[in-house]
Amino acid sequence: MIRRTILALSVTTALAVCGSAFAQVAVTIDTAKPGPVIDKNVYGQFAEHLGTGIYEGMWVGPDSKIPNTKGWRKDVVGALKELRVPLVRWPGGCFADEYHWRDGIGPRSKRPVKVNTNWGNVTEDNAVGTHEFFDLAELLGAQVYINGNLGSGSVQEMSEWIEYMTSPSKSTLAELRRKNGRDKPWKVDFFAVGNEMWGCGGNMTPEHYANLYKNTTTFIRAPKEFKPQIIASGGHTDDVKWADVLTREVKNDMAGVSFHYYTIPTGKWEVKGAATGFPENQWFSTMQNTLKMDKFIRDNKAVMDKNDPEKKVGLFVDEWGTWYDVEPGTNAGFLYQQNSLRDAVVAALNFNIFHQHADRVRMTNIAQMVNVLQAMILTDKTRMVLTPTYHAFKMYVPFQDATSLPVSLQNNTTYSVGSESVPQVSASAARAKDGKVYLALVNTDPNKATEVTVNVGSAGAAKLTGQVLTAPKMDAHNTFDAPSAVKPAAYTAQAAGGKLTIQLPAKSVLVGSVE
């Protein structure tokens, strides 16, 4: 008989009415029923040719006075390595469907200068191309996810790019790669056929795209050891038709279907809301809107389960994150926004959702790494600052390739504004590769702390050791003059009287190992 081990946590929060009794919220982790592995690529990143996301933010060129390795900033690369970045998507995004790979090879001084019509109408000198991107991936120790150009490119162009990158032969393209400085083939881990084909990638129907996808993948050929997993461009928000059509119509060469969803406080693209200085009702609407990710994933999974019951095809959320109005005085096409404690809470809520759906969600890519949207890092010339989102990613590192564990919440309290509410507590747990059980807790309420009591039972839990991330203000953020205003603090709780009590502050993220 298999003995079942259960960790039971009682999350205690005060009721809204002053003087009321405490409500018990039980969070139960069943360590005897391990779920699917949380693929490390759930913590993937995204670097698009957009604003200062690559140029200035990461790439300064080998001749820069800013310390660099092969043109990539040492400080930024070093900070990203601390996140154990598993995967980087490049070169877009909408930029991908106007990118022609031959523009980005050969001597940089001879590469053509183009106009980035998607993002700010600024010049693109193609200083960062295929070779430079692989240098970045190798510096980070990350897998690569390359987005092919279906919108303005051709089947031949994508086929030849794959040959250029992966062929060990003496073909003309392989020899051109060698002439440009790379002898051995690269491993292209993932390759996407277009991006947002419903919009900037070509305004197509899913049925039309499915046929183009099948045609294109027929000619994406590479040696078996270098052949990428191929990704189809899928839907967004509440549109499940793309996942439905693709998993019905495409039976081969499709590792995953992409999905995009951005959290916007107002829900309106025209006026999204500010990154800082926002009222509490926009804190609440941000929490409410980001939690919709769970329903969107469930709806896509439902049609995928019908068409692909063996779960061969993954749902790859390769664009997600917060999207606010740009910072005043900046180029509207650069999508530069400040990053606050609110963003860290959003990131953690999404991590917990992705963990719940690890059977299908095998990759996600936050938008984006540096200086764009919900960035890990902000830079200003020689200076660099780590954002609250960066800290959330680092706290969750133990969940990479960890085995998910079932978590149930009973009688969860709510955080309410007006007549609407969201769950106050979000939780996730997994057994990491080091053998320890890790627990992540998020408190969405910006006003009320919670008390978490871990009952020490047959699992033998005696303490929790980890970190907590919070700050006094909802929009607390790091600046170049105050780079440590928001950062994690060490947290340890010891069992007493048979119980392990955790104080979870308002508007906070806590991750720790239960031992």
As annotated, the active-site residues are 196, 319
Strand partners, 73: 68
State the Cα–Cα distance between residues 369 and 44, nearest whole angstrom: 10
**Own/partner pairs, 407-410, CB within 8 angstroms, 24+ separation:** 407/27, 407/28, 407/29, 408/26, 408/27, 408/28, 408/30, 409/11, 409/25, 409/26, 409/27, 409/28, 410/25, 410/26, 410/28
**Please, are residues 432 and 494 in contact by the beta-carbon 8 Å criterion?**
no
**Please, are residues 432 and 71 in contact by the beta-carbon 8 Å criterion?**
no
Return the closest-CA partner of residue 474 out of 274, 268, 270, 266: 274
State the Cα–Cα distance between residues 142 and 189, nearest whole angstrom: 10
Q: Angle CA(133)–CA(139)–CA(142) in degrees, nearest 5?
A: 75
Return the closest-CA partner of residue 341 out of 496, 476, 506, 216: 476
State the Cα–Cα distance between residues 39 and 399, nearest whole angstrom: 9
Cis omega (within 30 of 0) for bond into 368: yes
State the Cα–Cα distance between residues 349 and 33, nearest whole angstrom: 23
Q: Angle CA(370)–CA(430)–CA(4) in degrees, nearest 5?
A: 175
Q: Angle CA(144)–CA(39)–CA(7) in degrees, nearest 5?
A: 155
Calculate the CA 202 to chain-centre distance: 25
Return the closest-CA partner of residue 9 out of 412, 306, 312, 283: 412
State the Cα–Cα distance between residues 77 and 112, nearest whole angstrom: 27
Q: Which two tokens stand for residue 287?
A: 């929490």
